[in-house]
Chain A
Amino acid sequence: MNIVQNKILLQRLAADYGLGTMQGAARRRFEALARRQAPVRQAIRDWQERLAGLTELQAPATPPEVIWKRIEIALHLEREAARLAAARRQAATGPQAETPSLPWWRQLFVWQGFSAAALSLALLAWWQPWQAAPDGPGASTQAQGPAGAATETLALLLDADNRPVWLASWSGPRQQVQLQDLLGQPVPAGRSLQLWAVPAQGAPRSLGVVGTGDAGKVLSAAASQVQGAALLALSLEVEGGVPEAGGPQGPILFKGPVVHRTL
């Protein structure tokens, strides 16, 4: 049967196609037909146009302000990553050596090392949370401050899909790590995220457990805990976290190489 002749049937099928209710094998057969028959293509286009208006007719809602902030961060990351990727192509580095089987924290280094480092560098160039914050008394003269006072450390922690999820910045003058939750994903009930500093040599060090609210996202950390770190990682642990000595027990959800710089 030639459906192009049967206008009612053609309209019905094209409408089902445009609406999306035609699925699976039927949809593929109809697409094959559309490739051969211009009237079928036209009928599909008409329906797609008619129905597209449905996306415009929904009741509006006010989005939370944080969404635009997140878009801004993503735009900066994207631009800087593109710039760094271009620079990297020019530098044309040699092939990297394969890494044999290693403990888990060593294997972290193998993962997507460069792109995350590039993103962290990009963020460092752009993001200056500590300088923007008002300094408390005693933090004004870096020379008299605690060890490592005049440095800061930054890491962008990515998830398994390489999406930036957390931004961690350690301030020498404050001896604190501040965590910024970029996506606002909730932690499952009864579990905690624990922050680890993973040095190039030796076992990872616990920097503490991420708490609730803004206050819970600032953790005390001495220079000695952070400065040797090559990576920061967040693992999902039982509520309250696990002892440092055993290392992370739960899955590493987010991780990223750190960038150190002198202020």
Chain B
Amino acid sequence: MTTPDDNTQALLIDLLSRVAQGDELALKQLYDQTSGRFYGLALRIVRAGELAEDVLQESYLSIWRSAADYRASLSPPLAWMGLIVRSRALDLLRRRTGERVQLTDSLDELTEDTLEGDSPDPAQCADASQQAQALHRCLAQLKGPQREVLSLAYLRELSHGDLAEQLKLPLGTIKSWIRRGLEQLRLCMGAFN
């Protein structure tokens, strides 16, 4: 059976292979298909709009240069591209540590973020890879702040100490939230695989 999800995946895989051959039109189509999603991701990691614009630009240039490596990765296309965006965003944050961006969030702010942050609209979710959809369902079973701490740790590559500092929570709380959250995720996602 073919689902809309399969169609999107096939389209993106086809676009990536054309991009790998230097087809600029395909890059434009890929951009039109995916830039909203990845601009959202970039904003989530770097917060500032201006930085997120640079992240998006550099990410699509990276995709342009490395699309030939995509097939070997065996990943779903959005997951592969998402990792590129995350890694460009982290590069940019590191490069800008001099003009340290304000990354401190209060947990209230974060839970607000979570409502929009980790609850993509149904269409967005339908396009996501199966793995991401399973993750979405399993994350939904965690408590809001716990889910948020996991997201933030991953997206911004933060240590327990960084998280405790940024979220102004005790280190022990952060550690146990993460440990239990990951354990729940493992059990839940095991059921999907």
**A interface residues, Cβ below 8 angstroms from B:** 11-12, 15-16, 19-21, 23-24, 49-64, 66-68, 70-71, 74-75, 78, 183-186
A106 CB to nearest B CB, Å? 29
Segment 72-90 of B: residues with Cβ below 8 Å from A: 75, 78-79, 82-83, 85-86
- Are B135 and A51 neighbours in the complex by a CB distance under 8 Å? yes
Top 5 A-B residue pairs of the complex, sorted by shortest distance between their CB atoms: A55-B82, A53-B132, A53-B135, A63-B39, A60-B36
Residue of A nearest to B78 (CB): A56
**B interface residues, Cβ below 8 angstroms from A:** 24, 27-28, 31, 35-37, 39-41, 43-44, 50, 52-54, 56-57, 60-61, 64, 75, 78-79, 82-83, 85-86, 116-121, 124-125, 128-129, 131-136, 139, 150-151, 153-155, 157-160, 163, 178-179, 182-183, 185-186, 189
- Are B135 and A57 neighbours in the complex by a CB distance under 8 Å? yes
Give the number of residue pairs across the A-B interface with Cβ within 8 Å: 148
Q: Which residues of A contact B121 (CB under 8 A)?
A: 59-60
Looking at A11, A51, A62, the one whose CB has the most chain B CB atoms below 10 A away is: A51
Identify B57's interface contact among A15, A51, A70, A185, CB under 8 A. A70
- Are B136 and A59 neighbours in the complex by a CB distance under 8 Å? no
A57-B120, A59-B116, A62-B36 are contacts. A20–B56 as well, Cβ < 8 Å? no
Looking at A59, A66, A74, the one whose CB has the most chain B CB atoms below 10 A away is: A59
Given contacts A50-B185, A56-B132, A59-B44, 5 further A-B contacts (CB under 8 A): A54-B151, A55-B86, A56-B128, A61-B43, A63-B53
B189 CB to nearest A CB, Å? 5
Cα A183 to Cα B51 in complex, Å, equals: 10
Q: Which residues of A contact B36 (CB under 8 A)?
A: 60-63
Identify B37's interface contact among A24, A56, A66, A186, CB under 8 A. A56
A111 CB to nearest B CB, Å? 21
Residue of B nearest to A55 (CB): B82
Q: Which residues of A contact B75 (CB under 8 A)?
A: 49, 52
Q: Which residues of B contact A53 (CB under 8 A)?
A: 79, 128-129, 131-136
A122 CB to nearest B CB, Å? 16
Q: Which residues of B contact A60 (CB under 8 A)?
A: 36-37, 39-40, 120-121, 124
A185 CB to nearest B CB, Å? 8
- Are A59 and B119 neighbours in the complex by a CB distance under 8 Å? yes
B148 CB to nearest A CB, Å? 11
Q: Which residues of A contact B129 (CB under 8 A)?
A: 53, 56
Identify B125's interface contact among A15, A57, A63, A78, CB under 8 A. A57
Looking at A11, A67, A70, the one whose CB has the most chain B CB atoms below 10 A away is: A67
- Are A11 and B60 neighbours in the complex by a CB distance under 8 Å? no
- Are B182 and A68 neighbours in the complex by a CB distance under 8 Å? no
Identify A52's interface contact among B83, B133, B178, B185, CB under 8 A. B83
Cα A70 to Cα B82 in complex, Å, equals: 20
Q: Which residues of B contact A75 (CB under 8 A)?
A: 24, 27, 61, 64
Cα A59 to Cα B40 in complex, Å, equals: 6
Show 10 A/B contacts (Cβ-Cβ < 8 Å), sorted by A. Answer: A21-B158, A49-B131, A53-B131, A55-B82, A56-B78, A58-B40, A59-B40, A60-B121, A61-B39, A61-B40
B29 CB to nearest A CB, Å? 11
Cα A115 to Cα B131 in complex, Å, equals: 44
Residue of B nearest to A182 (CB): B57
- Are B79 and A56 neighbours in the complex by a CB distance under 8 Å? yes
Residue of A nearest to B179 (CB): A12
Cα A71 to Cα B136 in complex, Å, equals: 31
A64-B53, A71-B57 are contacts. A19–B153 as well, Cβ < 8 Å? yes
Cα A49 to Cα B61 in complex, Å, equals: 24
- Are A67 and B35 neighbours in the complex by a CB distance under 8 Å? yes
Q: Which residues of A contact B182 (CB under 8 A)?
A: 12, 15-16, 19
A105 CB to nearest B CB, Å? 27
A57-B128, A70-B57, A74-B61 are contacts. A52–B79 as well, Cβ < 8 Å? yes
